[in-house]
Amino acid sequence: MIPLQDARSYVLDRVDRLGAVSVALTDAAGLVLSDPVVAHELVPPFANTAMDGFAVVAADTADAPVTLEVTGTVAAGAAATRPLKPGQAMRIMTGAPMPEGADAVVMVERTCYDPENSRVDVEVAVGEGNHVRGAGEDVKPGDELFAPGTVLGAGHLGVLASVGLSAVRVHRRPVVGVLSTGDELVDDPRPLQPGEIRDSNRRTLLTMLDESGMEPVDLGIARDNEADIAEAFTGGAARCDAILSSGGVSMGAFDYVKVVLDSLGDMRWMQIAIKPAKPFAFGLIGTTPVFGLPGNPVSSMVSYELLARPALRRMAGHECIDRPVRRAVSEEPFGRHDDGKTHFARVTGGPDETGRWHIRKLSGQGSHQLTAMARADALAIIPDGTEIAAGDEVEIIPVGTVVE
């Protein structure tokens, strides 16, 4: 058995960031910038008011209260048709451009408007620039807005929209094929025949890819014979940036995935010192990374989390490829025997009001018992030989939907 860190390094040493492409802002959320984004426009594009009120010449208000002549109204989206002269004011709405000659805004709450006589009483003196948002206060042409490596979120995309960009250069989203292998697998709702089981791995892996921001491709089921498996991998490698297969990588007589991948690519077969997810294969068909995940449903998910997800995130250009590891208080003992492996136990729990996580072990810890994995809020990392007593601290990897 090899340590998890060795398996991880082996994989990460053999994957590269995908090349840069131009992507419409509508498709760019979660992608990683490949090039700096430079602005070519001012934001705001013109000086405008931050408040509903009256545009004035600040000096006119020095002896407030004062009465000014109201010469018009400027709404957002319009431009003032005439300049403002001393002694005058214009009604102005939030976001509307400042009329020429005006240099301050008095908020409506500090005025008394007399529309009949086109007059306004200004109750307070305001300084130059009061409630005025200057042109370019947020962004100026030539500003580098975001550096390569930035993961595009809602705020970033809003900024890009604010400077009139409709596309952006990012690392390509990895297209990842998912293949199930096994003669026993059924993927339609018909009653099961003796020996058959339903294919669950494809659904979980396609969904995990989606949640990781990848573009999943369903490569279907390959049966336990060399021709079927070879065709599925060759076809998948031609259309995908990476392939995840599940099953056929352990010691069984019909585990042809090993045989086929050895003939198609440069593969390494590993027994990793972890439980679940001990068997694992990684290699390249041409330049396409192939992750041979174990068939047991929990194992394939844990293997994805620990080995495939970080590598695929690296391909997508992410600098941060791992989920954060946190410390948690175990509410109950975790018995375990020495087996040379690090255990990843499925646990439930979450943070208390101070933010400290508390966890309990879920029942059904077998690698075939997918329900506990589905219900898990985290994987607890239990090192070899360590008995955990109630109240002890353990490291956990949150994997569920609990939000802190």
- The footprint of ligand AMP (CB under 6 A) covers 180, 182, 184-185, 197, 199-202, 246-250, 252, 294-297
Q: Pick from ligand AMP, Mg ion, none: which does 212 bind, CB < 5 to 8 A by kind?
A: none
- To ligand AMP, the closest distance from the beta carbon of 299 in angstroms equals 8
Q: How far is CA 393 from CA 48, 328, 331, 387, 397, in A?
A: 55, 5, 9, 11, 13
Cα–Cα distance, 375 to 384 (Å, whole number): 24
Where does this chain bind Mg ion (CB under 5 A)?
Answer: 182, 247-248
- To ligand AMP, the closest distance from the beta carbon of 198 in angstroms equals 7
Q: Pick from Mg ion, ligand AMP, none: which does 246 bind, CB < 5 to 8 A by kind?
A: ligand AMP
Q: Which secondary structure element, helix H or strand E, spans residue 10, and what is its range?
A: helix 4-12
- To Mg ion, the closest distance from the beta carbon of 291 in angstroms equals 16
Nearer residue to ligand AMP within complex by CB, 71 or 181? 181
- To ligand AMP, the closest distance from the beta carbon of 176 in angstroms equals 16
Q: Pick from Mg ion, ligand AMP, none: which does 294 bind, CB < 5 to 8 A by kind?
A: ligand AMP
- To ligand AMP, the closest distance from the beta carbon of 277 in angstroms equals 11
Q: How far is CA 246 from CA 294, 296, 345, in A?
A: 5, 8, 21
Cα–Cα distance, 45 to 42 (Å, whole number): 5
What residues pair up with 269 in beta bridges, in sequence order?
281
Nearer residue to ligand AMP within complex by CB, 248 or 289? 248
Cα–Cα distance, 257 to 260 (Å, whole number): 5
Nearer residue to ligand AMP within complex by CB, 88 or 299? 299
Where would I find the beta strands (DSSP E) of 108-147? 111-114, 119-122, 132-133, 144-146
Cα–Cα distance, 228 to 63 (Å, whole number): 89
Let me know: does 229 contact 239? Beta carbons within 8 Å: no
Q: Pick from Mg ion, ligand AMP, none: which does 180 bind, CB < 5 to 8 A by kind?
A: ligand AMP
Q: Pick from ligand AMP, Mg ion, none: which does 118 bind, CB < 5 to 8 A by kind?
A: none
Nearer residue to Mg ion within complex by CB, 182 or 265? 182
SS3 label, residue 124: coil
Smallest Cα–Cα separation from 376: which of 285, 298, 317?
298
Nearest residue to ligand AMP on Cβ basis = 295
- Amino acid residing at 214: M
- To ligand AMP, the closest distance from the beta carbon of 205 in angstroms equals 9
Nearer residue to ligand AMP within complex by CB, 162 or 200? 200
Cα–Cα distance, 345 to 373 (Å, whole number): 9
- To ligand AMP, the closest distance from the beta carbon of 364 in angstroms equals 15
Check whether the bond before 289 is cis (ω within 30° of 0): no
Nearer residue to Mg ion within complex by CB, 165 or 222? 222
